[in-house]
Amino acid sequence: MATDTALPALVLVGHGMVGQRFLEAAAERGLTESHRVVVLCEEPRPAYDRVRLTSYFSGTTPEELSMTDPEFIEKHGIELHVGDPAVAVDRETRTVRARSGLTLTYDTLVLATGSYPFVPPVPGKDATGCFVYRTIDDLYAIEEYAKNNASVGAVVGGGLLGLEAAGALQGLGLATHIVEFAPRLMPVQVDEGGGAALLKTITDMGLAVHTGVGTQEIVTTDGSASGAVRAMKLSDGAELATDLVVFSAGVRPRDQLGRDMGLRVGERGGIAVDERCRTSDPAVFAIGECALASDGRVYGLVAPGYEMAQTAAAAIAEDDAADGFTGADLSTKLKLLGVDVASFGDAHGTTEGCLDVVYSDSRSGTYKKLVIGGAGELLGGVLVGDAEAYGTLRALTGSVPPLAPEQLVLPAGAGAPAQLGPDALPGDAVVCSCHNVTKDAICEHTSLPEVKKCTKAGTGCGSCVKVIEQLLPKSGDGGLCGCFALTRQELYEIVRVKRITSFGRLLDGHGRETARGGEGCEVCKPTVGSVIASLAPSIGADGYVLDGEQAALQDTNDHFLANLQKNGSYSVVPRVPGGEITPEKLIVIGEVARDFGLYTKITGGQRIDLFGARVDQLPLIWARLVDAGFESGHAYGKALRTVKSCVGQTWCRYGVQDSVRMAIDLELRYRGLRAPHKLKSAVSGCARECAEAQSKDFGVIATAQGWNLYVGGNGGMTPRHADLLAQDLSDAELVRLIDRFLMFYIRTADRLERTAAWLERIEGGLDHVRDVVVHDSLGICDELEALMREHVAHYSDEWAETINDPERLARFVSFVNAPDIPDPTVRFAPERDQIKPAPPEPSESPLIELEGLSVR
């Protein structure tokens, strides 16, 4: 730990993403041991992930965006001064003066001052209601102003940050305009075809786009330069009414400190550096967006900044064998307004003799272009709407792909053979461009957390994570995922025996060493969430799935206790036990559907689905349904769905038992039971099997002597006929065996494994299950029954709990920061006297252009 002031002083000015990466590279090379390291940070908080800045508007906190581990800073003795930027440097005395008056002497100075937003010099640019989009504080200011002062917003700039800013304004509930001087959106990254696809998709989302025009003036309410924004005058003479303006027209290097120091600066800005990132003063380095690289470019992406940080650290450590920085890959992949956009290599086809291979589907907003060299090598490409293959294609740039170019752009089902996967990449292909990590380096590890920890791959922009996961070997130890070497069954037992109620505690105590202290992954989080929910009563956990840490573990549908549909609306499915419903309750469902304009459908499971609810309408709908005696049907959860029934002995002349009563009893007993997968059941009143009980996870068929119990049935794509587990059971015997069967399944099944697959996989199959459940061969049946009794005794309806709790209700809004604004992207069209999701606008059929050949 280097805190000795007698050591050479290394002063870093600026603590953004690139500054933090420099500190990490410096620590890796021992510079924090050999130097006193001091950091002057302008913002009031340490380095945070500016790439994910917009996620703040969807609930990500500044703390979650942080990239600075306090333990790292402390461990390496780094002196970090936040909110105290450097204001002057004296190169002769080698001193830096901070705004607070703090004066530091340096032996080596590293400038990582980044960039600043470019604001066009138009009249009114400083009016009240004008903002830039660069820092967390900028977002705070936009959010606060939009709450009470704006209903319409405009973004100047249609590039990467401009589209992110537009998405943020729309998320705040503002009608949003985008003004771009170039003839298309994202002119640097995409070509004309990609811009057209992007334009259609974004306008379909309800945003107004104005391309090929500039901003001439910001008009204020009182005509003064500092008055409140009223309108924006455009270069084509139009006047755009708006209450708020965000300037996002590009950035400029923050090189003023370098200019004041007398360092050499480029004609168009940027502190000039050589291949070692050294400035015209050998004791001063510049990295990131403030630097003009030796190839004459200022790089505005994080990956080149990271490379420069590593280069500077190597130079300061006098590692002459390390590569210099001579340029960087400008490939990028982002999700803007929910649209995947990517470009890589020579995206605009500037190489002499190159050819374009294009696939375009204007209906779906999909556009793919590959640029192919004369020798068949992949030079670059543009992907809009479908960027699934970005990671693989970018890594293949410069080589001849193993598949023909047209096969790489055609979608599945359009005549293309199997698509190219990461296995086709050569070992030296760079998979993570942010940290320059190759396929070979990734394949040395066994899990994603390990890859991130050891190589930093996947911790930058994140676009390579999917490729990394595909490259990693499947867990040879049979573990649940890269975070846990234990199976789901083993984790279940640990949670049950140790009464663990926290995912974090389970991960830190029983996860792989490389995953401890982490956040888990998309495999283990919902799996552990389900295990804790299924054991909640017996281990003392909160059974409500959206309280505390449990909320972060749930699948998408569970977050809003409803099923998300294709157009962003939700379905409402009340429980109708056994399919039995009174006329009064039918009337309530009809009235709710009518009043909220919902689509209604009778399901195969004897329920009534209501489709088309906005997220903000869900509590209002459920308040009326709960008041009428309905409860959640758990259509959104991995839980019991329905117990279907025929009318049975009560009405049917063939019925031999009361199937409706039994179906109701079973559904009310097992409602809300969380399981590895959804559960379906049915009760038939006789052997004619009208309820189709033998296609269910557990099915019951009446006999003259009682009930036959069938298990492991499955419908869908891989139907399986259920097996007879026991026959001629009394009511009490039937319930007892179902209790045991369900809890044994929950205890031993893998994640997302239906009972049919579980029964075929488990050693010994049905015979073993019968021995355990019927004959108690393992001596665990008392325990299984007790677990079910705990569930039954502690069941409560999630929606009834939700509508009576204001804190829980707060999540049911389309826009967190504008709760009264409905989501304008949820649209419907009429069909058969009801509604359906609005289809895309009619357009021409997909166009495939293959080296001049057009095919419809």
Whether residues 79 and 214 fall in one domain? no
For residue 803, pLDDT beyond 70:
yes
Domain's final residue, options 249, 271, 295: 249
Mean pLDDT value across residues 781-791: 94
Name the nearest CA neighbour of 88 among 36, 40, 22, 20: 40
CB of 766 within 8 A of CB of 738? no
pLDDT number for residue 561:
84
The CA-atom distances, in angstroms, between 302 and each of 117, 435, 723 are 16, 10, 58
With respect to residue 824, please indicate whether it lies within any of the assigned structural domains.
Answer: no
Q: Does residue 242 sit in helix, strand or coil?
A: coil
pLDDT over 60 (residue 852): no
Give the Cα-Cα-Cα angle 289, 292, 294 (nearest 5 degrees).
Answer: 135
Highest mean pLDDT among 4-8, 493-497, 643-647: 643-647
pLDDT at 349: 86
Task: Rounding to the nearest 10 degrees, give the CA dihedral for residues 602, 603, 606, 607.
Answer: -70
Q: What is the dihedral of CA 252, 256, 259, 264, to 10 degrees?
A: -30
- Per-residue pLDDT, averaged over 336-344, amounts to 76
Give pLDDT, residue 261.
94
What number is the average pLDDT over the span 538-552?
69
DSSP state of 762: S
Read off the pLDDT band of 847 (50, 70, 90): very low
Which residue has better confidence, 357 or 666? 666
- What SS3 state is found at 190? coil
Residues 23 and 88 in one domain: yes
Q: Are residues 415 and 430 in the same domain?
A: no
Could you tell me if 684 and 700 lie in one domain?
Answer: yes
Contact at 8 Å (CB) between 686 and 652? yes
Question: In this structure, what are the phi and psi dihedrals at residue 415, rounded to the nearest 5 degrees?
Answer: 95, 0
> Do 146 and 200 sit in the same domain of this protein?
yes
Question: Both 742 and 618 in a single domain?
Answer: yes
Query: Do 632 and 690 belong together in one domain?
Result: yes
Q: Residue 311's domain is classified under what CATH number? A: 3.50.50.60
Within a domain: residue 324? no
pLDDT digits (tens, 9 = 90+) for 635-680: 888 999 999 999 999 998 889 999 999 999 999 999 999 999 999 9
Residues 760 and 839 in one domain: no
Same domain flag for 550 and 572: no
Last residue of a domain, one of 219, 249, 279: 249
Quote the percentage of the chain above a pLDDT of 90.
Answer: 49
Question: Which CATH number characterizes residue 673's domain?
Answer: 3.30.413.10
CATH number at residue 465: 1.10.10.1100
Contacts (Cβ under 8 Å, ≥6 apart) of 128: 220, 226, 227, 228, 229
Q: Please, which residues bridge with residue 247 across strands?
A: 132, 156
Cα 370 from Cα 390, distance rounded (Å) = 11
Average pLDDT over residues 453-470: 75
* Tokens found for residue 624: 């009326």
* 781-794 and 731-748 helices, crossing angle to 10°: 100
- How far is residue 256's CA from residue 88's CA, in Å, rounded to a whole number? 10
User: pLDDT band for position 743 (50/70/90)?
Assistant: very high
DSSP-assigned beta bridge partners for residue 675 = none
452 against 589, higher pLDDT: 589
pLDDT tens for each residue of 358-393: 888 877 778 888 999 988 899 989 888 887 788 788
Task: Report the 10 Å Cβ neighbour count for 470.
Answer: 12
**pLDDT confidence of 181, banded at 50, 70, 90?**
very high
**Cα dihedral across residues 156, 162, 166, 172: positive or negative:** negative
Return the bridge partners of 217, or none: 233
What pLDDT does 817 receive? 57
Q: How many CA atoms lie within 13 A of 123 on its CB side?
A: 11
Mapping DSSP to helix (H, G, I), strand (E, B) and coil, where does residue 166 land?
Answer: helix
Average pLDDT over residues 423-449: 78
How does residue 555 score in pLDDT terms, banded at 50, 70 and 90? low
Tell me the C-alpha to C-alpha distance, in Å, between residue 230 and each of 129, 143, 166, 221, 233. Answer: 9, 18, 18, 5, 10
Report residue 554's pLDDT band, with 50, 70 and 90 as the boundaries.
Answer: low
User: Can you tell me the mean pLDDT for 51-56?
Assistant: 81
Residue 78 has pLDDT above 90, yes or no: yes
Query: Which pLDDT belongs to residue 477?
Result: 61
Provide the token pair at 44.
């009031």
819 domain residue, yes or no: no
Each residue's pLDDT tens digit, 566-609: 677 888 999 999 889 999 999 999 999 999 999 999 988 889 99
Average pLDDT of the chain is 86
pLDDT for the residue numbered 830: 87
Residue 322 lies in a domain: no
Residue 423 to residue 442: CA distance in whole angstroms? 12
Number of domain units in the chain: 6
The confidence band for 92, taking pLDDT boundaries of 50, 70 and 90, is very high
Residue 473 predicted with pLDDT over 90: no
More confident: 550 or 291: 291
Q: Which residue has the higher pLDDT, 454 or 778?
A: 778
Alpha carbon distance 149, 286 (integer Å): 41
Residues 220 and 187 in one domain: yes
Q: Three-class SS of residue 548?
A: coil
H helices within 206-297, ranges in order? 256-261
Separation of alpha carbons 384 and 184, rounded Å:
14
Residue ending a domain, among 770, 794, 818, is: 794
pLDDT level of residue 556 (50, 70, 90 thresholds): low
Answer whether residue 121 is part of any domain.
Answer: no
Q: What are phi and psi of 87, to 5 degrees?
A: -115, -20
Provide the CATH number for the domain around residue 373. Answer: 3.30.390
* Residue 560 neighbours by CB distance under 10 Å: 19
pLDDT at position 848: 36
Average pLDDT of the residues in 156-172? 88
Task: Evaluate whether residue 693 is within a structural domain.
Answer: yes
Residue 676 CA to residue 638 CA, distance in Å, equals 6
Bridge partners, 96 (sequence order): 89, 104
Type of residue found at 673: L
Report the alpha-carbon distance of residue 387 to residue 379 in Å, rounded.
Answer: 17
Mean pLDDT of 129-143: 93
Question: Do 50 and 162 fall into the same domain?
Answer: no
pLDDT at 475: 52
Print the domain residue range for 461: 426-472
Q: Which residue has the higher pLDDT, 447 or 134?
A: 134
Average pLDDT over residues 298-304: 87
Is residue 801 included in any domain, yes or no? Answer: no
Query: Both 278 and 344 in a single domain?
Result: no
Amino acid type, 386: D
pLDDT recorded at residue 479 = 81
Q: What is the pLDDT of residue 846?
A: 38
- Asked, for residue 123, whether it belongs to a domain, the answer is no
Q: Report which secondary-structure segment, H or E, holds 73.
A: helix 70-75
